[in-house]
Homo-oligomer: A and B are copies of this chain.
């Protein structure tokens, strides 16, 4: 029998909030194992060079237990394209490259030994621009490149199309073409990357305390690298201090740590320094997007043609697959009748890019939403109206085959258009005052993202075991992974809701591949949707068992029962029995039975076909943001004054965590829009520290006005959709549109730094005078 929702929808803090703020959380760097050694990695000083090593001095240092170079190890290459040697042999191709690794009795000794390794470099001129790398005369950057593309330095290509492009071009009233340039942003996780490897020489098993967000794929990848069976590898996931997609790939330092442990027979721990975190973590994909788009006389979008060149860096990570998501925005955000999409990832001597919250979508959305503003201006339509009339709708099946069973796009737009109306009218006034120092503007942007997982692996499923013990304590063993997004808390709320017990009676177990059932990992904003459904499936098996025993104990016959207040009770509350007592009777009474159930949930989604068509997700999330900025025309500074966010979340599961995601996402979007760029010069990183890499802080949080739109997707848990990546995706686009709106210039690259603003103002001086 269905009861009203008591817990779902409430705003409750993360269940591990106390642990985190009190310093009790055990992060990777807090792990101490008996006899543990500390590892450190020597990286190249030059992005492109051949090199030779002299280890003599380093080996002589007391406390050094082992030094490994490429000559000492027998491993497979790693990475999405298996083009990445774990330790580089004689030749480096980016500034992150690992050339030797030390294990020593203390961290200090390991670092000192690394400094004592003598390296002779023969430095080469790096090739750091992907367009240069595509030239005939460019050097071969990665010698393990597949070689199956038209150019030796192409790592991967994507081609997609739908609709009749020629017809739509003809039908267009306006066609515009622009180039958009997106920067290299890094995750800047506050918790540094770490790993502890513990290889047992007797059983030949490897235990890894790893911050991976995809433990089961990682287990497989690590096994491939080390030439071991995956079943000999166990992954334990300590609490991690920030993921945002950076832990989707497996990196050389992790394999190296395992190798050091295998070689020494002792546990080995590697923790990144802050500088290393900047140099040797992945980045968001930098790319150049050439977009041509048309609009008909009614303001309807006719077609989009997209050509993207992505700077792959020296090696290929999961990040190479971001075009899956990028093309989705171009093909299916707003109705568009035809689309052609081509993307290539090109090797350069830069550090390699990876996966980052939004997975290419912020880049795509920036280009698309900037273009929409340009089209609106060109055809003379209001920027709100043009979006509203092209908005996606429920029931729509897009050209790419995405099926929007529910769709709150229109409602999201309506909300932010209404909420930002006052600011808009003020902004337009201000913009008219050409010579004011401070000029306000409002920009819009929408976003579309998968909201019910993304079928990119054979299964997009998640397993769950749920059990209640004789003290009434419930344990959820979920395949899913918590990387700070709050999914543990949401799962506990679901169990609390369904079993009528309080949250403090619930533990979520999710950090050991030998314990938890299979799951594809944290990505694509899938966890609450997929793991939530999986948990609901397990509870749907468990509840009837409990009800049956309760009926027997209550002698209540075949009437409906409610799970409420730690009890199972009849609807009128007259007869009831404590849940823990029911469990004890199940365990200890005939026929002795555990209160446990397991379930595997596979979302109702499809693999896309060779042409990238198919309904890849169980559900789709939409959002719209309107952002008001104020530009200081004297300094070029952009201040975000207000952010209106409306997001189709399906159903609010936890108001507070949802707002947390919104705030965090918007702030990360502000960083992407205005501040953050990992600056590289000829393959060298210029700002590997928080002093020079500008991250927005709590002080930079603007007023964020969040309105959740509930569309109750029938596939989602209680109707919910994924929410994690969405709030970041449209922010930079909306800010860029707002800046453009404020000062009447085109913004076609990020971040919108004061320098760029001042330069744009200077270049447009004449035009502005005319306006």
Q: CB distance B594 to A202 under 8 Å?
A: no
Q: Are B471 and A594 in contact (CB under 8 A)?
A: no
- Give the CA-CA distance A24 to B580 in the complex, in Å: 39
Is A122 interfacial (CB-CB < 8 Å)?
no
Contact with B along A100-138 (1 / 0, CB 8 A): 000000000000000000000000000000000000000
* Complex contact B514–A475 (CB within 8 A): yes
* A18 at the binding interface (Cβ < 8 Å): yes
The answer to whether the Cβ of A467 comes within 8 Å of any Cβ in the partner chain is yes
Contact: B202 with A461, CB < 8 Å? no
What are 27 A-B residue pairs whose CB atoms fall within 8 Å in the complex? A15-B203, A18-B200, A19-B203, A21-B202, A24-B267, A26-B33, A32-B32, A230-B473, A231-B473, A234-B507, A461-B587, A461-B592, A463-B587, A463-B594, A465-B465, A465-B594, A465-B598, A467-B598, A469-B517, A477-B515, A509-B512, A515-B515, A517-B594, A517-B596, A592-B602, A594-B600, A596-B598
Distance between Cα atoms of A30 and B521 in the complex (Å): 31
Q: Is A71 an interface residue (CB 8 A)?
A: no
Contacts of A232 in B (CB 8 A): 504
Q: How far, in Å, is A12 (CB) from chain B's closest CB?
A: 12
- Residues of chain B within 8 A (CB-CB) of A505 are 231
Residue contact B587 to A202, C-beta cutoff 8 Å: no
Contact with B along A125-156 (1 / 0, CB 8 A): 00000000000000000000000000000000
A513 within 8 A of B: yes
Number of interface residues of A (CB under 8 A): 69
CA of A461 to CA of B590, assembled, Å: 12
Interface hits, A403-448 → B, CB 8 Å: none
Q: Mark A300-318, 1 if CB is under 8 A from B, else 0.
A: 0000000000000000000
Do B475 and A587 touch across chains, with their CB atoms under 8 A apart?
no
Residues of B contacting A518 in the complex (Cβ-Cβ under 8 angstroms): 469-470, 587, 594
Whether A229 sits at the interface, judged by CB under 8 Å, is yes
A198 interfacial contact with B, CB 8 Å: yes
Instruction: State in angstroms the CA–CA spacing of A172 and B250 once bound together.
Output: 81
A24 with B34: CB separation less than 8 A: yes
| A265 CB–B CB distance under 8 Å | yes
Query: Does A575 touch B at the CB level, under 8 Å?
Result: no
Q: Which residues of A contact B (CB under 8 A)?
A: 15, 17-19, 21-26, 30, 32-35, 198, 200-205, 216, 219-220, 223, 229-232, 234, 265, 267, 458-459, 461, 463, 465, 467, 469-473, 475, 477, 504-505, 507, 509, 512-515, 517-518, 580, 584, 587-588, 592-594, 596, 598-602
Copies in the complex: 2
Q: What's the nearest-Cβ distance from chain B to residue A509, in Å?
A: 6
Report, nearest first, the 4 A-B pairs whose CB atoms are least far apart. A18-B202, A231-B473, A592-B602, A32-B32
Is there an interface contact between A24 and B198, defined as CB atoms closer than 8 Å? yes
- Please judge, given known A-B contacts A24-B34, A459-B587, A588-B459, whether A475 and B201 are in contact too, CB under 8 Å: no
Residues A22 and B200 in contact, CB atoms below 8 Å apart: yes
The listed residue (B34, B513, B517, B592) touching A459 by CB distance below 8 A is: B592
Say whether A598 contacts B602, CB under 8 Å. Answer: no
Q: Is there an interface contact between A201 and B32, defined as CB atoms closer than 8 Å? A: no
Distance between A593 CB and nearest chain B CB, rounded to angstroms = 6
Expressed in whole angstroms, the Cα–Cα distance for A527 and B546 within the complex equals 28
- Whether A461 contacts B231 by the Cβ 8 Å rule is no
